[in-house]
């Protein structure tokens, strides 16, 4: 789990001076009296000095911190197993299990507000470490952390919904990818709060909102996974003028059958090439007629081959050469779309 930019996740108190008087936390009973389990999470470690005092101090510090975090993992695991059983009965085991597997990675040696004290007993040639964290500080932090991560999730999903509505499904999928690493953090915060706060309510855990967000995420990911992604390369020449008449019309029609369009060819299921140029045909009774000569190629990125290719010439007429060329282009776009529907699925 990465450190937050503005909050230090791991705080270590200054090392106790060598030779200081023996602290009360060395003895188990005194330790529990001074740091009652109802208020504090604690970790304790002891090592015989063999390699040198500096290296032993660093190692015993890590041992004490590890002892504390193991308690958190055990508390979460115990609570998770209980939740898993009840959810399995309700037929929701797989969904929760996925989150538990992901959120387990969030638990490591970093605990908000953890403090560590060190004592070196020269007479016993031993070094001791005691780590502790206030449960209520942890509860306050993770309640806030939970709200921040929910807000981020809602923002990404709202952006994805807007993009999906505009048929920008590839960009929508990218927004949802931003959500994937957030949900394990949400689950970890929920599990930690549930484990250490006996009074945590469903409102504190924001359970209903989170489950609703997750269901929306799964449904949206399923929809976007079914979308067909197309990369379009278009070169359209209207009597020397560069236009996108055919490409825009083809995109609009293909979007109706679930296609979305990407700017990176590597993200596409299909690569569509459209090369088109116009030429004058004839004039008749004040009407101008032109041809749109078109070459079309559809490449399937998964099959790695061209699945459709054609050359189409379409005639169009109007009162001016420009309008006649545009009409020819619009008509050929309709023909292209009908042919592509047989191949893009």
Same domain for 295 and 270, yes or no, is yes
Beta partners for 293?
Answer: 277, 313
pLDDT band with cut points at 50, 70 and 90 for residue 82: low
CATH code, domain carrying 318: 3.30.160.150
pLDDT at 98 over 50: no
pLDDT band with cut points at 50, 70 and 90 for residue 92: very low
Domain count across the chain: 3
- pTM for this prediction: 0.59
User: Is 3 inside a domain boundary?
Assistant: no
Residues 156-167, mean pLDDT to the nearest whole number: 89
Q: Which of 76, 102, 134 is the C-terminal boundary of a domain?
A: 134
Q: Which of 191, 226, 261 is the C-terminal boundary of a domain?
A: 226
Q: Which domain holds residue 329?
A: 228-340
User: Is 9 inside a domain boundary?
Assistant: no
Q: Find where tokens 């450190």 sit.
A: 3
pLDDT at 81 over 70: no
Same domain for 51 and 74, yes or no, is yes
User: Is 10 inside a domain boundary?
Assistant: no
DSSP letter string over 12-45? Answer: -PPPPPTTPPPPGGGSHHHHHHHS-TTTEEEEEE
pLDDT at 80: 60
Distance CA 307, CA 70 (A): 57
Residue/partner pairs of 92-100 with CB below 8 Å, 24 or more apart = 95/214, 99/183, 99/184, 99/187, 100/187, 100/191
Q: Find where tokens 């009652």 sit.
A: 36
Q: Which of 106, 134, 162 is the C-terminal boundary of a domain?
A: 134
Per residue in 30-73, pLDDT (tens digit) is 999 999 999 999 999 999 998 788 889 999 999 999 999 888 88
User: Is 320 inside a domain boundary?
Assistant: yes
Per residue in 170-186, pLDDT (tens digit) is 788 889 989 989 988 89
DSSP letter string over 295-343? Answer: EEEEEETTTTEEEEEEEEEEEEEESSHHHHHHHHHHHHHHHHHHHHTTT
Same domain for 125 and 30, yes or no, is yes
The CA-atom distances, in angstroms, between 176 and each of 103, 147, 202 are 18, 19, 26
pLDDT at 283 over 60: yes
Same domain for 150 and 180, yes or no, is yes
């Amino acid at each position: 789990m990465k450190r937050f930019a503005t909050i230090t996740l791991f705080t270590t108190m200054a090392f106790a001076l060598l030779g200081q008087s023996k602290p009360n936390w060395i003895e188990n009973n005194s330790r529990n009296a001074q740091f009652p389990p109802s208020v504090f999470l604690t970790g304790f470690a002891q090592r015989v000095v063999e390699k040198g005092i500096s290296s032993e101090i660093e190692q015993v510090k890590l041992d004490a911190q590890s002892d504390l975090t193991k308690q958190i993992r055990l508390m979460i695991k115990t609570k998770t197993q209980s939740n898993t059983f009840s959810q399995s009965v309700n037929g929701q085991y797989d969904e929760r299990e996925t989150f538990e597997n992901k959120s387990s990675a969030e638990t490591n040696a970093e605990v908000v507000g953890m403090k560590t004290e060190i004592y070196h007993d020269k007479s016993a040639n031993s070094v001791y470490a005691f780590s502790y964290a206030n449960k209520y500080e942890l509860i306050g932090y993770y309640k806030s952390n939970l709200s921040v991560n929910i807000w981020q999730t809602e923002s990404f999903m709202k952006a994805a919904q807007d993009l999906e509505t505009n048929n920008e499904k590839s960009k929508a999928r990218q927004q949802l990818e931003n959500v994937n690493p957030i949900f394990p953090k949400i689950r970890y915060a929920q599990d930690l709060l549930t484990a250490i706060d006996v009074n945590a309510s469903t409102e504190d855990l924001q359970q209903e909102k989170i489950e609703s967000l997750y269901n929306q995420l799964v449904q949206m990911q399923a929809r976007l996974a079914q979308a067909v992604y197309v990369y379009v390369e278009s070169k359209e020449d209207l009597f020397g003028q560069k236009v996108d008449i055919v490409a825009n019309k083809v995109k609009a029609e293909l979007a109706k059958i679930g296609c979305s369009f990407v700017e990176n060819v590597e993200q596409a299921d299909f690569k569509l090439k459209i090369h088109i140029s116009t030429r004058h045909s004839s004039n008749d009774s004040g009407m101008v007629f032109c041809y749109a000569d078109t070459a079309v190629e559809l490449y399937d990125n998964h099959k790695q081959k061209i699945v459709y290719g054609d050359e189409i010439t379409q005639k169009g007429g109007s009162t001016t050469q420009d309008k006649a060329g545009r009409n020819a282009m619009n008509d050929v776009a309709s023909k292209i779309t009908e042919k592509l529907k047989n191949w893009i699925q």
